[in-house]
Amino acid sequence: MIPNKTFSAERAGKHSLHLVAIMAAVLISLSVLTRVALLFKSAAGVDFTFLNLLGIFAIGVFYDVINAAYFTLPLALYIWITPRKWWRKRWHRFVLYGIFAFFVFGLLFNAVSEWVFWDEFSSRFNFIAVDYLVYTNEVIGNIRQSYPVGIIVAGLLLTTAALVFFLKPALKRAAYQRYSFKQRSLRMLAYVTFLVLCFYLVNNKFRQFSDNTYVNELAGNGLYELFAAYRNNELDYAQFYQKIPDQDAFKKIREMIKTPESSFVDNNPFSIERKIVNPGSEKRMNVVLISVESLSADFLGTFGNTQHITPNLDSLASHSLLFTNLYATGTRTVRGLEALSICTPPTPGQSIVRRPKNEGLFSLGRVFNQKGYESKFIYGGYGYFDNMGYFFANNGYKVVDRTEIKKKEIDYENIWGVADENLFTLATREIEKTIQSGKPVFAHIMTTSNHRPFTYPDGRIDIPSHTSREGAVKYTDYAIGRFVREARSKPWFKNTLFVIVADHCASSAGKADLPVNKYRIPLMIFSPNTIKPAKMERLMSQIDLGPTILGLLNFSYQSKFFGYDIFKLEPGRERAFISTYQSLGYIRKDSLIILRPQRISDSFVPNFTDGSAKLVQSNKKLTEEGITWYQTASYQFKNKLMK
């Protein structure tokens, strides 16, 4: 029997190496189907031109093939090391079926994961996905609470079984080892050589062929992008980005960062430390800074929304100092927390909140502590997530998180944290604890409810829980409104600045690499006894909020912040920063400069309404300004000058 089977396999030309080809074909087929599905899902944002479609599928299949070469390496290793005699055993065929079932299920699971990730971020796997692999408890919990995981897994298992059954004849024919170990070793050497060449010669930049971001993302491969992001999770500005001599950069930044109320403390050419002098007596007011999860300006009726999902915030805006032209520095909570606490432009790669050696930095909390305040970071989730607890605890804040809330005090919780109303109850308790000790308080409160799975207590608003982002926005609005109403009855209310701002927008996806409209966030400062209702319409960066608050309090202090007090800044000097983990944007007047790895820079005229951007001839002056801000910020952190 065995010789006949051997003869049959040899005549058919089938052998174990065909298993690699079968696996690669499955991967490429599923990758193409995933690409088609994502193309239809994003049809409204894709520019359907012949060249774009050609690029999506031609470049996409190229990356699929490269990814297949990497993905099939474990199977190739198995074929290489498995003794030849095993392949003649009947049981070994079932081992191969099991191996294929395992890998096919993984590929199907990846396809579903890509769909879910695209639904949230409108991109292939990227730096965010790498971060999520670190915090599996929160991420898996979020997925379980957002999607019918049991049904999805059952469907994937059935599909896997069907595919393996369909492939069974081909697998059976290929379950024959024709080559000796020496022959297999030579083929393995050639295979590994090809992978090494791919590793060094192929990167994920080839897909960046279009001005349309969706097109470029569709031309990629999710698994390939995941590992590319893992390799590039730390980006050294000096190594990857366009730069000027450090001496020149710091000479320029000292010119650009100087404002009328400041003076440099010394002549150190690499220092930006300044003495800030604000006239008049200091106002020792409590400051309650609420950074709201994913609160795009477009959600508020004040900014034109007609869904009536922010009645409390809209009411507060009409009684506040409202900032209408503020831009978030990034697309992640940690990036917003970085901007609000240490007031620095976003540096490429990880947020400083997540980086090693981020202790002892000059922060907003430290300034308040120097003024006799107690600074607190109050969070409804667990502080270990995204390293938030460690960062704030080591940079001048007392960290208060979910662990401080008793189970009976929680009306509702999901994987990200307790309901915002319970967070604000905790915040009120912590604020009063500090005030009763005789100190004013600076409380930075970070909300969590406006986040998938968009769940919250029943009966609070007229949109059922777990139905939509709009419901989560309206619930957070309800919780903030209730917090402020209850604070009105407190003796400390009259002496408190309430600052409400977003950490970032709900979505940063658009046709352009950095769609400026997706970075605009609301900011209001509410204190009816001290702040008159008004609008500030000047361009402003998230990193300017800290110095602006300190200016409103008439604080004099020594600063290492990169941010401006917008009320002291002369007209015409406004600028803003927007970024992803790789692309660094600099907005000045009606121009947008984007700096990218491989020392690339481009100049655009952005559309602040729809987020599109028109590529124009390079603006050398503004490009050098953008380089200066980002280069010096990166240099300062790397050389411990932010401490």
pLDDT at 443: 98
Q: How many CB atoms lie within 10 A of CB 221?
A: 30
For residue 406, the tally of other CB atoms under 10 A from its CB is: 6
Angstrom distances, CA of residue 540 to CA of 293, 323, 567, 575: 20, 8, 11, 6
The DSSP bridge partners found for residue 593 are 586, 603
Q: What is the pLDDT of residue 282?
A: 96
Mean pLDDT of 49-58: 94
If you average pLDDT over residues 83-99, what whole number do you get? 89
In the chain, domain spans = 2-231, 285-569
DSSP-derived secondary structure letter, 349: B
Burial of 133 (0-12, 13-18, 19+ CB in 10 A): exposed
* Residue range 271-316, pLDDT digits in tens: 999 999 998 899 999 999 999 999 999 999 999 999 999 999 999 9
Rounded average pLDDT over 617-641: 96
| Dist CA 603 CA 605 (whole Å) | 7
**What torsion do the CA atoms of 377, 378, 381, 385 make, to the nearest 10 degrees?**
0
User: What CA–CA distances, in Å, run from 31 to 27, 163, 445?
Assistant: 6, 15, 42
pLDDT at 349: 85
Residue 438 has what DSSP assignment? T
Residue, of 352 and 231, whose pLDDT is higher: 352
Q: For residues 299 and 176, which has the higher predicted lDDT (pLDDT)?
A: 299
Residues 6+ apart with CB under 8 A from 348: 235, 237, 240, 241, 579, 581, 582, 584, 597, 630, 634
What is the percentage of the chain residues whose pLDDT exceeds 90? 76
**Could you give the CA distance from residue 117 to residue 111 in angstroms, rounded to a whole number?**
10
Q: Contact 526/320 with Cβ under 8 angstroms?
A: yes
Contact by Cβ (8 Å): 560, 642 = yes
CA separation, residue 28 to residues 119, 157, 215 (Å): 22, 20, 19
Residues 9-40 have pLDDT tens digits of: 444 446 778 899 999 999 999 999 999 999 99
Contacts of 588 (CB under 8 A, 6+ apart): 574, 575, 622, 625, 626
Residue 8 has pLDDT above 50, yes or no: no
What distance in Å separates the CA atoms of residue 487 and residue 497, rounded to the nearest whole number? Answer: 12
* SS3 sequence of 98-166: HHHHHHHHHHHHHHHHHHHHHHHHCCCCCHHHHHHHHCHHHHHHHHHHHCCHHHHHHHHHHHHHHHHHH
Question: pLDDT category, 459, cuts 50, 70, 90?
Answer: very high
- What is the pLDDT at residue 135? 59
Q: Across the chain, which distance is largest between two alpha carbons, in Å?
A: 100
Spatial separation of the C-alpha atoms in residues 358 and 177, rounded to whole Å: 55
170 or 586, which is more confident? 586
What pLDDT band is residue 129 in, cutting at 50, 70 and 90?
Answer: confident
- How does pLDDT run across 200-209, given as a tens digit for each residue? 999 888 898 8
Mean pLDDT taken over the chain: 92
Tokens 């509702």 found at: 412
- pLDDT reported for residue 88: 82
Dihedral (CA of 86, 88, 89, 90) sign:
positive
The answer to whether the CB of 214 falls within 8 A of the CB of 122 is yes
Side-chain half-sphere CA neighbours of 440 within 13 A: 22
For the entire predicted model, the pTM comes to 0.79
What does the pLDDT average to over 450-463? 93
* CB-CB contact of 538 with 325 (8 Å): yes
DSSP 8-state symbol, 326: E
Indicate whether 115 pLDDT > 60: yes
pLDDT at 16: 79
> Over 70: is that where the pLDDT of 6 sits?
no
**Residue 179 binned pLDDT confidence (cut-offs 50, 70, 90):** confident
Please tell me the predicted confidence (pLDDT) of residue 5: 43
pLDDT at 502: 98
**Multiple choice CATH, 285-569, 3.40.50.360, 3.40.50.300, 3.50.50.60, 3.40.720.10:** 3.40.720.10
- Angle at the Cα of 90 from the Cα atoms of 88 and 93, rounded to 5 degrees: 90
Per-residue model confidence as pLDDT tens digits over 132-168: 666 566 667 767 777 788 899 999 999 999 999 999 9
Number of H helices, E strands in the chain: 21, 19
186: CB partners within 8 A, 6+ apart = none
Phi, psi of 46 (to 5 degrees): -90, 135
